[in-house]
Chains A and B, each alone.
Chain A
């Protein structure tokens, strides 16, 4: 197998990896905000459920969570899991990352001085307006570095999809390496992750720069 066939075979995996990455972000970034707000809910039961959810997600390996999402329906309910592989994968990733993002959001929201809320209240803004117009923009600026960290980790974590035998770039690299007795697929995969993260870091830096107009 020539280098160019290797790369072209693996490019399908790269697209799948990018797919996991984008879908996970699209799901977990907004879900994390909902979780962060529910964690501050007035209803103790809701707060309790959210706290358990966060602690279970943070306290167990993502790899194990993926296996549970995939095989759980069969072992627990005897359901057929045909066609469930990809949905299980995305569910696992989204719920995992939402928990981490929720904690980042919560830290950001709590770091905004009470005076900002009070100034908004005195000016007659509704609670929703205070959050959307005054608090959230400042939170986004403050949490950018932590979010960047998390997003970069996600790029690398997508490789855990190999646990469910999903053919993303890392699984393919392993397979091709074994069949061709070549080290090259790992070099290609490594380069792919590195370049992907370089792009992510560049993009996040641009966003941070764009938010630099105030302090």
Chain B
């Protein structure tokens, strides 16, 4: 397993956002997480990528513990130096891209691999250009983010995450800030990554995409996993009443 999260609990100001969630992702697996807003999907990703600290539970990457719960029931993380090694396992693509506006496209991709991972600048640049080609935006290498469309910006963001060579890539509603036309070009890129067996977890509202691309679908609501399984099963024959209700909205 690339990542394993066990009994994850998280609350914000008294509101329980995650109520004992457990899930794991195998190498090469593509998992979609669906559910209404406020169900805890984004928080789960943010806990997995260490942007939020969990209150309780366990996070393991490659079988190694990044966080666990001690006898008093409090979550304890490894020392922050060690945590940086865990961070290297995962990448995150944001809904709002969050590219660095003062760096051109190429620099957005190469800066962290060179400055954080201390890789050879030449090798990094070659890898970055490869990625941009794959994303269909090689000709934009010297452009600045503001000169790109939303779809192009998101593809740069995906390439930026991939340039770090993560073992798993998380997507937090990657197309929610895009209009339908641009959504297509981003989904195409994610689909291509899936075919290459990139391990991915995608929080999305694009149901046809989730059904077509993922190996497993998780339906979350109220900080719990309500149902999960094979996408065809979950979408065509949902077991839980709540899942049926939720999916019905999308059929209209």
Residues of A within 8 A of B (CB): 113, 115-116, 118-119, 121-126, 129, 133-134, 137-138, 141, 213-215
Contact = CB atoms under 8 A, between A and B. Distances in A.
A122 B87 contact: yes
Q: Is the interface of B mostly helix, strand, loop or mixed?
A: loop
Nearest to B117: A124
Contacts of A126: 84
Contacts of B160: 123
Contacts of B88: 124
Assign chain B's interface to a size class: 20 to 34
Interface of B: 49-51, 84, 87-88, 90-92, 94, 96, 98-102, 111-112, 115-117, 144-146, 160-161, 164
Given A125-B115, A125-B116, A119 B94 contact: yes
Given A118-B51, A124-B87, 6 more contacts: A115-B96, A119-B100, A121-B50, A122-B49, A122-B92, A124-B84
A64 B84 CA distance: 51
Nearest to A137: B102
5 contacts: A119-B99, A123-B164, A124-B84, A124-B87, A133-B115
A78 to B, nearest CB: 51
A123 B112 contact: yes
A143 to B, nearest CB: 14
Contacts of A119: 94, 98-100
B101 A215 contact: yes
A124 B114 CA distance: 11
Residue with the greatest number of chain A CB neighbours at <10 A, chosen from B91, B98, B115, B144: B98
Contacts of B100: 116, 119, 134
Closest 9 CB pairs of A and B: A115-B98, A119-B98, A123-B112, A215-B146, A124-B116, A122-B92, A214-B144, A137-B102, A124-B87
Residue with the greatest number of chain B CB neighbours at <10 A, chosen from A115, A124, A133: A124
Nearest to B91: A122
A124 B51 CA distance: 11
A141 B102 contact: yes
